[in-house]
Amino acid sequence: MLARMFHGRGIRYVYRIAKFRHTINSITIDPSACFKKDPSLRYAHLYWNLFVDSHIGFRTFSTTSKWLAASQHLDKMVKEQNGVSTMLQTLGEKFPVENLDPVAAVDCLKIIRTFMYNKMLCKNAIFQNQPPIITFAKVFQYQNDSDIFRLFFPNPYFQGLLNQICGHISQFAPAHNAELFACLVTLGISLEHPIMQELISLFLDEKYPMCLNDLATVFDHVKVTPLRSDLFFLRVCMPRLQKSFETNIVMENTRCSLERVATLLEPFSLIQCSKMRDWYQKRLLSMAEDNSCMNLDSVRSIMIMLSKSNSRSWSLPNMVRLTDLCFKEIEKSLHKLKPYQIEVIAQVGWQFGVYKSLKVTTCALDILEKVHFMALNMLEKVQASATLTEILTLLLGVRWQKLNINERESFERLLAKHIEEANIDDLLKVVNFTQFHRVKNKTCQCVVDAKIIENIGKIMNDSKAFRQISNYYRSFSASLPLHNTLLDHMQKSQMFFETKEFVYLAQLILCTSPEDKPFSKLVIDKVESMISQFRLSKITVLLRGLDVLNRSKYTQAQILDLHILLDKAFVQKIETTELLELCDVAYKLGFFEHTKIRHAEKINLLYEKMAKLVMSMKTDELYRFALSVRKTKLYNKVVLDSLAQYLIRHGEALIGQVFVLIVVVIAKSGYQLQEHSVFTKLCLEITQKHFDKLDIQEQISLAHSLCLLQICPQEILCRIFSFEYLMALDKYRVQTGWDLNFTTMHLNRCAVLEYPQLNIPWFHESFDAKFYLPDFAMVNQFTGLFKTLSEILGGPEFFEKNVLTPYFHPIAVELFLDENKRPVSYAKAKQAQTRTYQPIAILLATKFNDENLNGFLQTEIRQLEILGYKVVVILYSEWNSMAMFDNDERVKYLKEKLFTV
């Protein structure tokens, strides 16, 4: 009966029924009959999805001969020859481009996307001269250089599909175009492609209707890295989408809950454009202040969103206000809390409480304590009857560090008891929990290891599970049975050598099991055979791993051979690697002092290549690169000279955000450029001629950067600190984040201290410094500093840590010397009525100041000297050098610094 009901129906109907009828085991359906209803391929992607679903677990149709044959054909297709080429060839034979209308062509693109992102199919795909699809987890790290883009774009059939769609975009419904945009983004199509240009022109049309869900689809793909930092998209398209979104929220406000807004607007918290972020923050905060919108689910959504956002992109007062509203709602509804809410609130809440990026109030901390004890009470009540999932959920709501030894052991035994009943998903949760909290209970760890061994076959066939178990293996000293089982299965599993984790696990295995020669040799041989397929970033991972191998039991010959192989591949890959990836690799190699020294030659090669590429870049590419330099602090003189040369060559063509960003990067670097006088002269000319064309935020940033370079025109400062400008600035600052407030304070400080003749007042006495103080955690990079200082000066009473001057200069250590250069008690010096003692300010120059003090630090030194301080700078590279491991050397170093100033 069911078979007769389905026979001949359209594929959309069959697919919808199939998704909800998992228990049906025997239905006789002819797939070709389904297609008689839809010959135009209108629902071909659903047809494909039905195959996929039957293949991965929806066994609804797979028992009949025809559907089983179709499934087998699909499986065979991806196992033989070249998976992508075979798929495109098969599609081309069944559905020639010339027979497709534009809508059917879009559906073919969706089929391709479905194929690419189906793990069960992709894991078996084998490609000629290309890495497996499963390695494409981070598809869009580099635009136009992604593996997917290179796989598809040259294919004639794929090009034919795009040509069929071009010129017909306006005929599609908005929902269809939003989905098409998402599909094209995930397949690697550049924004400059005609289809994307046609879509964007529609999005720019204010009369083009887009509902909330359509906009959410587009916004969700704005988070993809290349789009997020693309000048054109951010500055032209986003305002149009913002306006549409605002209109839709107002229209759908009765149906639009706060948690939905928090979820859909998340991309705004991630993008570079400050105006968009500010608008987003205001919208979310205004809805949160409406009591009718707030509930525990919305609190949970907001906290998840905040944990994913970059807290520096937020106005901290706004962030504190938002979290305060959340905690008030939590306090009001404490008795209603459910375990899944406790888990998120406790985890994210404690994260905010521990890190100073968000200063939660004492009230919030008290509420978190209550949540902690509530989770404990729930555990006590339900542990006899609870499932493993429920226990894990509640344990994640407990602040593990606050438990005493007996409580920890009790819960670890409870966990071990329930692991026996765990499925794969629960096992992975346990693994994450034990890894996160460093659970060292031997009984618990043995049970986890045994369960992993029991399910090793399933784990090795699931890339996500494989990655989590690998991290667990790296974090703990695995038991010998688990160690041997993992090595054995890795040796047999082709998937191990195909996943993106291969390079990390190759590094791990070579370091942790040097005596296991057969498998180690297999890994080395595999690295040699696959080296041509590795990106530069993967080669970098292995190079950094070899730095550890030097301390292992391998012979120098084995390490040397691998080093030579990787060094050669590294140099070859530099020539074909995209600029942003070069920037990322240089950052990774230069982050740690030992790798920076060991790979100095490679880093210089990277800088030289970047400098060559800079001169041939387009404006939007230059903007992305300058952003990356600012983020990673890769202040290399060769690269900075190339940026300055670009600015000198193109001059006024770069007016606006790009010009300001280049000046900011060079000013913050603190370098004296090769053509410094030409560069500064050009900056002054452009600034004086086009200052009015910049928005307020760009004007403030530019003026501050010119102050760092000590070339800021006095008339610019007088204008900025005029009454009219400050009134406009106050209105503008209400809408902006903390960056503008922070930069304005710095600019005011420069004007007051370095341009006293202008008589500009200091109007930041009421500046709420606690929100803007840097985290003094950098002191952790200078191990033993305070102890050594106490030894030299005679005790901790002779100095003060983490001091702020009246102009908010952060000083790591402040102390006083008398006229004979002897230390004076800090309290006594502060109480002295007249200035009889010399104040000393110790500043810490972090690892990004090795070759040259950055512009901020140079400016702070100048200003502190104006305030009467003698400044001592301690370099990270000097304090943490091999010569300073001995305490006597540290004492000698500090004495020279302090008493010879």
Give Dmax over CA atoms of the chain in angstroms. 104
Name the token pair of 83.
């998976």
- What phi and psi values does residue 322 have, to the nearest 5 degrees? -65, -45
Asked if residues 622 and 230 have their Cβ atoms less than 8 Å apart, the reply is no
Residue ranges of alpha helices (H) inside 356-421 are 362-382, 388-396, 405-419
Centre a 10 Å sphere on the Cβ of residue 561 and count the other Cβ atoms it contains.
13
- Which amino acid is it at 199? L
- In the predicted model, what is the mean pLDDT of residues 255-271? 54
Confidence band, pLDDT 50/70/90 cuts, at residue 159: confident
Residue 328, C-beta contacts closer than 8 angstroms, at least 6 positions apart = none
pLDDT band at 299 (very low <50, low <70, confident <90, very high): confident
List the one residue out of 156, 85, 140 whose CA is nearest residue 115.
85
| The pLDDT of residue 747 | 92
pLDDT tens-place string over residues 118-148: 433 333 332 222 232 222 222 323 233 334 4
Question: What is the rounded CA–CA span in Å between residue 640 and residue 666?
Answer: 6
Side chain identity, residue 417: K
The residues near 693 (Cβ < 8 Å, ≥ 6 apart) are: 655, 656
Q: Report the pLDDT value the prediction gives residue 577, as an integer from 0 to 100.
A: 81
Query: Given the structure tokens 């099991």, which residue do they identify?
Result: 513
pLDDT for the residue numbered 254: 39
Highest mean pLDDT among 15-24, 133-142, 891-900: 891-900
**Letter string b/e over residues 569-587, b meaning 16 or more CB atoms within 10 A of that residue's CB:** bbeebbeebbbbbbbbbbb
Q: Enumerate residues 6+ apart whose C-beta is below 8 A from 511.
A: 545, 548, 549, 552
For the segment 576-627, what is each residue's pLDDT rounded down to a tens digit?
A: 887 777 877 877 777 665 666 677 788 778 888 888 888 777 776 777 777 7
Counting every residue written for the chain, the total comes to 901
Looking at residue 654, its amino acid is: L
- Determine which helix (DSSP H) or strand (DSSP E) holds 105, and give its type and residue range: helix 102-116
Q: What is the DSSP string of 581-635?
A: HHHHHHHHHHHSHHHHHHTHHHHHHHHHHHHHHHTT--HHHHHHHHHHHHHHT--
Q: How many CB atoms lie within 10 A of CB 588?
A: 16
- What confidence tens digit (pLDDT) does each residue in 61-70 have? 333 333 334 4
**Closest of 754, 705, 750, 632 to residue 855, by C-alpha:** 705
To which residue do tokens 């952790």 refer? Answer: 780
Compute the distance between CA of residue 421 and CA of residue 439 in angstroms, rounded to an integer. Answer: 20
Confidence grade of residue 472 (pLDDT, cut at 50, 70, 90):
low
Name the CA dihedral angle for 888, 891, 895, 896, rounded to a multiple of 10 degrees. Answer: 60
Q: Which residue has the higher pLDDT, 633 or 43?
A: 633
| pLDDT given for residue 49 in this prediction | 42
- What's the average model confidence in pLDDT over 695-707? 89
| Model confidence at 769: pLDDT above 70 | no
Alpha-helical segments (H) within 709-784 = 714-720, 723-734, 738-754
Work out whether strand 870-875 and strand 838-845 pair parallel, antiparallel, or are unpaired.
parallel
Question: pLDDT, tens digit, for every residue of 87-117?
Answer: 677 777 777 888 788 888 887 787 777 665 5
Closest CA to 582 of 549, 564, 601, 605: 605
- Provide the 3-class DSSP secondary structure of residue 882: helix
Residue type present at position 343: E
Helices (H), 290-338: 296-308, 316-332
Per-residue b or e along 513-522, where b marks 16 or more CB atoms closer than 10 Å to that residue's CB: beebeeebeb
Torsion, CA 629, CA 634, CA 635, CA 637, rounded to 10: -100
Q: Quick check: 535 and 572 in contact, CB under 8 A? A: no
Joined together, the tokens standing for residue 721 give: 């600190």
What's the pLDDT band for 750 if we cut at 50, 70, 90? very high
**Tens of pLDDT, residues 394-442:** 666 666 666 676 777 777 777 777 676 667 677 777 776 666 555 555 6
Task: Give the DSSP per-residue string, 505-532.
Answer: HHHHHHHH-TT-HHHHHHHHHHHHHHGG
Most confident of 66-75, 450-459, 689-698: 689-698
Instruction: Report, as an integer, the average pLDDT of 809-830.
Output: 88
Q: What percent of the chain has pLDDT over 70?
A: 50
pTM for this predicted structure: 0.55
> CA 274, CA 657: separation in Å to the nearest integer?
12
Q: DSSP state, 869?
A: P
Rounded CA-CA distance 642/580 in Å is: 15
Residue 250 pLDDT > 80, yes or no? no
Confidence tier at 563 by pLDDT (50, 70, 90): confident
Name the β-bridge partners of 816: 824, 839
Burial class (CB in 10 A: 0-12, 13-18, 19+), 702: buried
Q: How confident is the model at residue 706 (pLDDT cuts 50, 70, 90)?
A: very high
Please state, as a whole number, how many other Cβ atoms lie within 10 Å of the Cβ of residue 843: 20
SS3 content of the chain, % helix, strand, coil (to 5): 70, 5, 25
Write out 461-484 in H/E/C secondary structure: CCHHHHHHHHHHHHHCCCCHHHHH
Which whole number is the average pLDDT over 157-164?
83
Q: Answer for the pair 455, 418: CB distance below 8 angstroms, yes or no.
A: no
How do residues 314-348 score in pLDDT, each as one tens digit? 666 677 777 778 777 777 777 776 766 666 666 55
The Cα 148–Cα 188 span in angstroms is 6
Tell me the DSSP string of 177-240.
HHHHHHHHHHTT--TTSHHHHHHHHHHH-TTS---HHHHHHHHHHHTSHHHHT-HHIIIIIHHH
Each domain of the chain, given as residue ranges in start order, spans 257-402, 773-899
pLDDT of 550 above 70: no
DSSP state of 167: T
Q: Lowest-confidence range among 46-50, 220-224, 243-247, 444-448?
A: 46-50
Quote the Cα angle for 183-189-195, to 5°.
80
Mean per-residue pLDDT of the chain: 68
What integer pLDDT is reported at residue 831 of this predicted model?
Answer: 82
Predicted local confidence at residue 754, as pLDDT: 93
The answer to whether residue 768 scores a pLDDT higher than 60 is: no
Listed in sequence order, the residues at least 6 apart from 378 whose beta carbon sits closer than 8 Å to its beta carbon are 339, 342, 394
Q: Which helix (H) or strand (E) is 792 found in, with range?
A: helix 785-793
